[in-house]
Amino acid sequence: MNKPADYSLPALPAETEPSSDAVFLDLQRQLHFEARLLDELRHREWLEMMTDDVRYFAPMFGRRLRNEQKITDRMAGYFFNDHRVHMEMRVTRLDSNMVWCEDPVNNVRHLVSNIEVFDTADADEVKVYSAVDLHRSRLDSKLKRLTYGRTDIWRQQEGRWLLAMRCVNFDHNATIDSNLNLFF
Amino acid sequence: MDMRTRNPFPADYHDYINTDEGWVDRRIFWEEEIYQQELEKIFARSWQFIAHDSQIPNPGDFVTTYMGEDGVIGSRDKNGQVRVFLNSCPHRGNKVCFADSGNAKRFTCNYHGWAFGNDGSLLGIHNEHIYEGYINKADWGLREARVSNYKGLIFANFDSEAPDLETWLGDYRWYLDMLLDNEEGGIEFLPGTIKSYVNANWKFGVENFIGDSLHAMWNHDSGAKAMMGGQSFPPAEQEGSYHGSANGHGWEFATDSVADIAILGQPEVIEYYESIRPKMRERLGEMRAKIFGSLASAAMFPNISFLPGLGTFRVWLPRGPRKMELRVWTIVNKNMPDHIKQMVNKGTMLTFSPGGTLEMDDGENWEGNTQTNKGTLTRQGKLHYGCGSTSRIDHPEIPGIVHQGQYNDANQLAFYQRWADLMNADDWDDVPQRNEPRFAGKPTR
Ligand code: FES
Ligand SMILES: [Fe+2]
């Protein structure tokens, strides 16, 4: 890493055909399992689901008038733009037992739906769309709810599906929570 | 009745703070009446941040933001002048622009189609013939604010009596130059605005950046360790570190390390700043070249904050006494190579966005600071602001009100003193000058 080009947001490969039912079921199972790992705070196991070259990012779009295109600036903003090292860093922090605002534990539930799976030009990779309704019960016992869409690239590697790319699109123009201390 | 029960709303706002005893009354973080007074006495009269020149470089470029709870549009007119006006139609009051930013020749109100130019003037009305003889359009433009620019930062103020921006900033310009003018070309804002809501009083954000280096070592320990390979922040060092304050604006800093830049976790960014440091020394002098990049944080009265070197710049927009909207940008030196700019951006998002490893720890605390005051008994108490109460010094080089040691409550109290000064004053002659400016009428670089 640390090559300059790595700092811009990656482009998601195009989809070709809808995937077979078998692949669809595999990925659906995978997304549900992944959601449970996150809800149970099993972050290390979740990390094992990532490829070494994984990209995990959330672009940012301002609210602009319809007749003005979304910014396609090479440095358009993002909430995060992680490589694997950064994800590991976040997990290390969360597991340090010194993240005061996660103690007591904030309960979270990722409800994953609207799953669609498509083949791509790469025979080992599929493109997966999903929508997530994330409920979070905070220290102040207030319930916070975030919704977002995801576009993923999952790669088949030694018989397992690994996450190679995840683009998170938040549905809120302003983040409604004081922090995003979790994974999406 | 308990002795601590006090008259609900003292007429003198200085009764809410005590700089000698070092405490602040909790009610200023909670009460609606006090908040309404803040909107009138502070936000309707202070110079506030609208945008940076680089965010609206071309004629027609605009942003929307707030001054207090007043929505405003900041737009560059066809002559290249930035104009700032209320974002509310003088017909029935609707917003005239709902976008965050963009480029527009005119803003047309959705309700009846009154159209305003990017200079705020009423240009036309849908089916205008109906109004024949009933309106003088020249009288019905959008209400306009004064606009002034300091080294690229655009400020606006709706008070025609307020002192000019240079006087408002005063000796703080000496500090601000370290951010805005540490290199030829100055700074620019990178694209993208992060917005988030925090259920906290706006002043908690400001006071955190104006002087609270103390919290970093405890609250951000997990983030610092994760970012800096298991290392904690260096031990608290009061020698060679300071609080500096002028006109309620403040900067807390050390003079000998690269802490803020190092937190970015991008060695090449440190190398970049070290490479320009000799020039910075010529430009700003030995002292300011030493300060830049150290463990530092800063805030401008009333609601701007930034970390010089780390590149996060934000405003805390009040949304009632118990809620604020945080808007965050990344700033970089304009002459940095692109890949260095991108590294700074990545670093600031990794640390100081709502998903950042350092930012995430803060909001929760400020919400707690604010929301506990819902309790009647809780709200009767005071908060301790006495750390460093005897540390005031005179410094031959550092201007403003200076205190020895960056682990200090001095800047916070100076901020609240300025707050009380403005809350009390009916006109500007009543606002005391708390420090004798060294640079009045003189450039700071
Ligand atoms: S309210 Fe704006 S045109 Fe009527
Ligand atoms: Fe902090």
How much is the ipTM here?
Answer: 0.86
pLDDT at A6: 58
Residues with CB under 5 A from ligand 2 (ion): B 362
pLDDT at B3: 47
Chain B segment 306-335 residues within 8 A of A by beta carbon are 325, 330
Tell me the pLDDT band of A3, cut-offs 50, 70 and 90.
very low
CA distance A3 to chain B (A): 9
Question: Which residues of chain B make contact with A2, given a CB cutoff of 8 A?
Answer: 268
Domains delineated in chain B: 48-149 (2.102.10.10), 169-430 (3.90.380.10)
Element containing residue A88 per DSSP (H, E): helix A84-94
End-to-end CA distance of chain B: 57
**Integer Cα distance of B190 and B188 in angstroms:** 6
Domains delineated in chain A: 17-170 (3.10.450.50)
Paired strand residues for B150: B153
Q: Do A176 and B197 touch (CB under 8 A)?
A: yes
Residue B45 CA to ligand 1 centre (angstroms): 27
Question: Which residues of chain A make contact with B198, given a CB cutoff of 8 A?
Answer: 178
Show the 3-state SS of chain B: CCCCCCCCCCCCHHHHEECCCCEEEHHHHCCHHHHHHHHHHHHCCCCEEEEEHHHCCCCCEEEEEEECCEEEEEEECCCCCEEEEECCCCCCCCCCCCCCEEECCEEECCCCCEEEECCCCEEEECCHHHHCCCCCHHHCCCCECEEEEECCEEEEECCCCCCCHHHHHCCHHHHHHHHHCCCCCCEEECCCCEEEEECCCHHHHHHHHHHECHHHHHHCHHHHHHHCCCCCCCCCCCCCEEEEEECCEEEEEECCCCHHHHHCCCHHHHHHHHHHHHHHHHHHCHHHHHHCCCCEEEEECCCEEEECCCCEEEEEEECCCCCEEEEEEEEEECCCCHHHHHHHHHHHHHHHCCCCCCHHHHHHHHHHHHHHHHCHHHHCCEEECCCCCCCEECCCCCCCEEEECCECCHHHHHHHHHHHHHHHCCCHHHCCCCCCCCCCCCCCC
Ordered per-residue pLDDT tens for chain B, 445 residues: 444 555 567 889 999 999 999 999 999 999 999 999 999 999 999 999 999 999 999 999 999 999 999 999 999 999 999 999 999 999 999 999 999 999 999 999 999 999 999 999 999 999 999 999 999 999 999 999 999 999 999 999 999 999 999 999 999 999 999 999 999 999 999 988 888 899 999 999 999 999 999 999 899 888 888 877 788 887 888 899 999 999 999 999 999 877 777 777 788 999 999 999 999 999 999 999 999 988 899 999 999 999 998 899 999 999 999 999 999 999 999 999 999 998 898 888 888 887 788 888 898 899 999 999 999 999 999 999 999 999 999 999 999 999 999 999 999 999 999 999 999 999 999 999 999 999 999 999 9
What digits encode the pLDDT tens for the residues B383-422?
A: 999 999 999 999 999 999 999 999 999 999 999 999 999 9
Residue B347 CA to ligand 2 centre (angstroms): 15
Report the percentage of chain A scoring pLDDT > 90: 62
The half-sphere exposure of A35 on its side-chain side, counting CA atoms within 13 A, is 19
Cβ-based contacts under 8 A for chains A and B: 139
CA-closest residue to ligand 1 atom 3: B112
Residues contacting residue B407 through CB under 8 Å, at least 6 positions apart:
B213, B214, B236, B238, B241, B387, B388
pLDDT at A103: 84
Q: Do B100 and A58 touch (CB under 8 A)?
A: no
- Best of B357, B358, B359, B365 to substitute, by most chain A Cβ atoms within 10 angstroms, is B357
pLDDT at A70: 54
Q: Could you give the C-alpha distances from B345 to B89, B236, B270, B359, B396, in angstroms and in order?
A: 37, 28, 14, 15, 36
Residue B95 CA to ligand 1 centre (angstroms): 8
Residue A48 CA to ligand 2 centre (angstroms): 31
Element containing residue A119 per DSSP (H, E): strand A107-120
pLDDT at A2: 38
Chain B segment 100-129 residues within 8 A of A by beta carbon are 100-104
Q: Is the pLDDT of residue A142 over 80?
A: no
- Which ligand is nearest to the Cα of residue B107, counting in written order? 1
CA distance A75 to chain B (A): 7
Q: Given CB atoms, is A152 within the 8 Å cutoff of chain B?
A: no
CB B106, CB B123: distance < 8 Å: yes
- Which ligand is nearest to the Cα of residue B263, counting in written order? 2
Residue B49 CA to ligand 1 centre (angstroms): 28
Tell me the pLDDT band of A71, cut-offs 50, 70 and 90.
very low
Q: Do B360 and A60 touch (CB under 8 A)?
A: no
- Best of A56, A81, A101 to substitute, by most chain B Cβ atoms within 10 angstroms, is A101
Tell me the pLDDT band of A141, cut-offs 50, 70 and 90.
low
CA-closest residue to ligand 1 atom 1: B92
Question: Which residues of chain B make contact with A79, given a CB cutoff of 8 A?
Answer: 194, 349, 353-355
